[in-house]
Amino acid sequence: MVVRSKEVYDNPVCGERVVIRRGNDEGDGSVLIWDLYLEPGGTVVGEHYHPTADERFVLVSGKLGIRAGGRSRVLEEVGESVLAEAGTRHYFWNGDSGPTRIVIRMQGRVDRFEQAVFRQLYGLAQDGRTDSNGKPGLLQHAVTSAEYADIVRFAAPPWPVQRLLFGVLAPVGRALGYRALCAEYRDRRAPLVAELDPLPPGFPEL
């Protein structure tokens, strides 16, 4: 599965709206770039890290609060950026009273990122199958996280604890009908496409 330029993905629980700038159908498929619009109060679902991909966050407008590698800062100037290298824990949020827009560039193992996040996690949020922070229930979380551990891992509890817990709970979840990538999200095409908003003059090369 791939994502393509101009496709739109929404997480209404977390206040995130994604517009794909460069899909993983381009080049060798190792780069994925998207515009992320965060509503006031919007945030990513939990502190996490990517074992096999680097992720760069570049501010376009508004303010972005971000914690990466244990260091917190607020991006306020257009073009300011933070790089979370593979394995670096990170968490971000809208640091302004109005909307914030950033560009995210992910490089590395991105071929299944869209399955785990844009399709499964966002789909669950759209269908009201997450808590108020955007996280799915324990059994669904165990099944999905066990499958996509090479792509994204939540920072807490520590990974050895998660691995042990998922080893117990994931088979139970699968037996009860939970799937790492639900068929309805796997087959659901992006419901919208949108023209890409222009980037400011002098914006860093992506």
Q: What is the pLDDT of residues 20-40, one digit of tens each?
A: 999 988 888 899 999 999 999
CATH for 15: 2.60.120.10
- The answer on 24 and 90 residing in a single domain is yes
Q: 165: which 2 tokens? A: 């817990």
Quick one: pLDDT at residue 173? Answer: 97
Query: Do 112 and 154 contact (CB within 8 A), yes or no?
Result: no
- Indicate if 68 and 96 belong to the same structural domain: yes
Tell me how long the chain is. 206
| φ, ψ at 49 (rounded to 5°) | -150, 165
Tell me the C-alpha distance between 96 and 65, whole Å: 9
Q: Number of structural domains, the chain?
A: 2
**Would residue 128 be called left, alpha or beta, if left means φ above 0 and alpha means ψ between -120 and 50 degrees?**
left
For residues 2 and 153, give the distance between their C-alpha atoms in angstroms, rounded to a whole number.
21
Q: pLDDT band at 206, cuts 50/70/90? A: confident
- Which residues on adjacent β-strands are paired with residue 95? none
Alpha carbon distance 117, 26 (integer Å) = 19
**pLDDT (tens digit per residue) in 71-97:** 999 999 999 999 999 999 999 999 999
Which residues form the domain of 167? 115-186
Q: Are residues 92 and 120 located together in one domain of the fold?
A: no
* Global confidence as pTM: 0.94
